[in-house]
Amino acid sequence: MTGLSSKHPFNLYYNAGEYIKICGAQDGTFPDFGHHVANEMGGVWLHPIKLLDGFWLKVTDLDRGISVWTRADTFTNEPWGSRFEYDHGLSHIPVSIERIQFAPEREKGFIAKYRVQAYEGETVRLGLELLARTDLRPVWFSDHMGIVDGERDEPMETADCKVLVKDSAHPWFVQIGTDLPEPHVETGTSLYGPEFTAGAGCGVAFRAQIELAGQETFEFRLFAAGSCASQEECTQTYERLTLRYEALLAEKQAAYREIEARARLEIAGETLLNEAFAWAKWNNQWLVQTVDQLGRGLTAGGPTYPWWFGCDSTYALQGVLAIGDAQLAIDTLELLRSKSEEVNGNGRIVHEITTMGAVANPGNTQETAHYIAFVWDLFEWTGDEELLRRHYEYCVKGMDWLLGEMDGDGDLFPSGYGIIEIAGLNMELIDSAVYTAKALQAMAAMSEQLGESANAVKYRELAKRAVAAVNQAYWCEDEGLYGDAIAPREAVEAKADVMISLARKQGIAGYEEYIRSLLQRTTGHVGDQAWLLNKNWVIVTPMEVGIADPDKAARALATMRTEEFIGPYGTYLSGIYKQGTMTISTGVHAVAEAANGHPDEALELLRRLLRTFSVALPGSFTEMSPDYGCVVQAWTLYALAVPLIRHFFGVRPQAHRRLLQLKPQLPSAWHDKECKLEGLRIADASFDLCIQPAKEGEGHLVTVRNEQRWTVALELNGECRESDAAWIQWEITPRN
């Protein structure tokens, strides 16, 4: 478990436990940034409140009269925290400094440890000033619940090298302290470090003097704990941090080693892919957020979207299941369902839930369908029928909402916004239609499993009709693609000016002519028709979920392999705009290729995605490829784990039957390589898989460790094998 280093001082980093999130710059400072809460998205957060704008260290050489607010020369991202190294940034002061910080996984606070070392042969007297700036305030959108930040932060207690600060209007607390020797403590609203941060906070400074002989070292720590509930909780957390900081770090590191061991990927010769996959699992844990009053779940991205989303979850959680963290998938889905029931109650899944519990958007159409499809997926990986039954009732409501209120013309294509939230695109969109068809298939399977036979028959018939309808209505024969949307000509004409205006703002030349030509070609056409308005990446979804007619899938995928759709970092968000790429657009495209028997093309897309690994933050992929937006994004795990585990290794569990189906399809570049996937967790079972070239001749040797004695069914090279032995080894040769 080795960290990755960077020398990009102005880029951001993200440290996280399940309660605390820390975001600053890689030079160790804390610049203001962000738009949800303007200039306040960085610093230290204990959701649903912010604790600190940041913390800084000033070093003074008392003999030379030199003072420096430290800035790191080198940043190292560790899975469990961060390291900052200060040397050249200390000007002519003859010491080096290392700062190590982390947030314990289940504590409402964090620890930063400083290690100061004098240069060889030097004796130095130093003045140290450790300064923190509080900013107790609520998360974005809280004002819609009537929760407004207090006018100021008020120091309440200053004793024993620690200061307790409270928001003037709420029981929000932060306690800050240090183990510096006999520090002088100062507080004040006008007390700042090297950065004048936004917010009505309070400065807290600890000042001390030390003397170091040549190569002598000195260590000290900053501790900070918070609570949005009570002073007692805050002070008790602080006490645990000061007493157990070494143990808490050891526990954190052990937890991240355990994450590394789950679904451990090792493809011979694929060093970058293996490393990126391990980091994607760690990145995923950074985004887990627990809020005592609400629950636990996977947030969308840090630091800009540190709360819960419907669509982000139902993509990302497919990857979460593949890496063996079923409990996180269960927790996240329960949070979505319970909040949706509270706010909507009609089966609609909410789009966005802040950590204060506010719902900023009651839900886009696609999200309800995607949730329903994922409920069945979750059951196949857990075998938990009680869990399935708990979600089933809301799924029934959701299906009624999709095909009732949202499908006024009864064509099985719900209207409204999908995942592409572009003004004007609230028609019968391709992703909503595709995921509704997939949801109907899931509803049929759920109903049959739960003994709801009448519903099973109904949903099975509707699913057949929906799949056929998607393939007929959305297909654009001349272009060899599925359309973005279904709409009558007059509806597109009414929205044309809005879409043209948006394209102009993005500097897209020729878009007006493109839309006008589409409208001209359809003059006199009556009724609904398919439109390629933007050639958005979601037109690949029929192939992703496996409902595209084979000939249409082949044509569409061939068309989408061109430069019109694919750029240097993966699949464009829009084939018309060609301006943005995300890990989700590339990931869904890779899944579509793999699901339709094209592993080589899927791997090529993943290789483009890998070009963005560590570009902004070592060990991570950003929201927008290659280096923009959130420095860590949840659905990146979908983009990696689903193609790799569910398709290349072909993992298809039916946990309720204690059955693991394997249908590997390795890229041709891997046919002569050893491919391992160890510690694959499904329900209460764990498997080790290895696919390697056969010992003699062509074909593959497949080995499975199966200590729980599930039935393992393998389909490879046209052969089928089955066994429930604890140790299975099959040699599979291609059929002539």
Does a cis peptide bond (omega within 30 degrees of 0) precede residue 626?
Answer: yes
- Mean of all residue pLDDT scores within the chain: 96
Cβ-based burial of 409 (10 A; exposed 0-12, middle 13-18, buried ≥19): exposed
In the prediction, which pLDDT does 559 show? Answer: 98
- 633-666 CB burial, b ≥16 within 10 A, e <16: bbbbbbbbbbbbbbbbbbbebbbbebbbbbebbb
pLDDT score for 716:
93
Does pLDDT of 736 surpass 70?
Answer: no
First-to-last C-alpha distance (Å) of the chain: 45
Q: How far apart are alpha carbons 505 and 291 in whole angstroms?
A: 39
Pairing of strands 711-716, 659-662: parallel
| Measured distance CA(98)–CA(44) in Å, rounded | 20
Integer Rg of the chain from CA: 28
Give me 542's structure tokens: 């029929």
Q: What percent of the chain has pLDDT over 90?
A: 91
Question: Which whole number is the average pLDDT over 693-714?
Answer: 93
Cβ-contact 558, 614 below 8 angstroms: no
- For residues 78 and 26, give the distance between their C-alpha atoms in angstroms, rounded to a whole number: 13
Burial (0-12, 13-18, 19+ Cβ within 10 Å), 546: middle
The CA-atom distances, in angstroms, between 332 and each of 306, 340, 408, 629 are 14, 12, 31, 23
Mean pLDDT on 710-725? 95
Predicted confidence (pLDDT) per residue in 291-347, tens digit: 998 999 999 999 999 999 999 999 999 999 999 999 999 999 999 999 999 999 999
* Chain segment 625-639, per-residue pLDDT in tens: 999 999 999 999 999
Residue 1 confidence (pLDDT): 77
Instruction: Tell me which residue of 358, 361, 353 sits closest to 335, measured CA to CA.
Output: 353
Max CA distance (Å), the chain: 89
Find the mean pLDDT for residues 349-373.
97
pLDDT tens-digit readout, 265-283:
999 999 999 999 999 999 9
